[in-house]
Structure formats: structure tokens, C-alpha cells
Amino acid sequence: MPRPRTTSNPEILDAVIRVVSRVGPARLTLADVAAEAGLAAPTLLQRFGSKRGLLLEVARQGAEQLPEQFDRARQAQASPLEALLHALAAVGAMLQTPEEVSNHLAFLQMDLNDPEFHAFALEHAVAMREEIAALLHEAIAAGELSGCDAENLARTVQTAYNGALVTWAIFREGRLDVWIRGEVDEVLAPYARVG
């Protein structure tokens, strides 16, 4: 009879993300992840096959879980615009230093050079644009925005969000979540309805 799993796959993948924050995907080892998750490295090999398999699972999970992140923001905020800002800033709340941003952006190298990683990166990017557009449509219907096309504005908001990750790491002013909110607010300001 197999032993019951003491650490779930989602808990292991959360441990991977914490290790990536500290050392990046290239320097990550199965031993690092095992220590972070409270497991033996062979257990990771058994479940995921390799370091690459483990990182691919992180990429897959990120793409799958994005709608949940936006749904949580909708539940936490009555305003569609606040839900949008809340959802986008949530990533910034997890990353505390420019080094952590750099370590997570290192995934981008794999995303651009490896077809399997790219497929998940594209899925994530498409899902993010769709979630942003949905909240912008909701904001227009709620009278929070006017004079804009939600689909086009979603593309600009997504670009501002991605750019904010990099520019914050360069300028290093304040907290990343606040920086992201400020950059996205600036993009939305011309369309916001006052009062």
C-alpha cells in the first residue's frame, strides 16, 4: 500500500515559487525545493520527473490559476476598477525586492526560447488580457469608465502592468504593488468618470 502524500502538489509548487524568488529558475535545484517543501528530493523526481518537469508544472499552474486570482479580486472589491487594480497589484505584493523580480523575469528567457514554456506563457498572457478586458467591460457597464474600447484598453493596461514590473526594479521607489497600481491608474485616468 503506498504511503499517503504528506505534501500536496500545490504546496510543492508554492515552494518552487518561493525558491525561484530567492535564486531564479536556472540556479534552482531539486534539493532546494525539497528542503523548502519538507520533502526528499527523490519524491520530487517521482512526482515531476525532473527539474524541467517541475518548472513546467509551475508554468502550467500559473496559466490555469490566473482566472481564480481575478475572481478573488472581484469578490474582495465592489468596484470593477478596484478589482482590476487589486488583481494586478496582487503579484506585486508577493515580490518584495528587485532581485525577486529579476529572478521571476528569468522565466521569460525560458518562455521565449522553449516551445513548451512558451505555450504556457502565451496561455497566461491571453488569459490575463481576457480577464483585464472583462473587468474593463464591467467598469464601463458600471459607469466607472467611458470613451474607451475595453479590448484595446486591455492591451494597453497589460503592457503598463508588464512594464511596471521592470521599471520598478530599475527605479526601486516604494513598493511594487503600489507602483503597479500607480502605472495602471495613469493609463485608466483619461477614461475614468468622476463623481
**Domain range summary for the chain, segments of one domain joined by +:** 9-191
What is the grid cell recorded at 134? 472583462
Q: Average pLDDT, stretch 60-76? A: 93
- 1: pLDDT confidence band, cut at 50, 70 and 90? very low
| pTM of the complete model | 0.91
Fold of 9-191: Tetracycline Repressor; domain 2 (1.10.357)
Question: What is d(CA 133, CA 140) in angstroms, rounded to the nearest whole number?
Answer: 10
- 93: pLDDT confidence band, cut at 50, 70 and 90? confident
Question: What is d(CA 15, CA 38) in angstroms, rounded to the nearest whole number?
Answer: 9
What is the grid cell recorded at 2? 503506498
Question: What is d(CA 185, CA 10) in angstroms, rounded to the nearest whole number?
Answer: 33
The three-class DSSP label of residue 179 is helix
Look over the chain and give the mean of its residue pLDDT values, rounded to a whole number: 93
Question: What is d(CA 164, CA 6) in angstroms, rounded to the nearest whole number?
Answer: 38
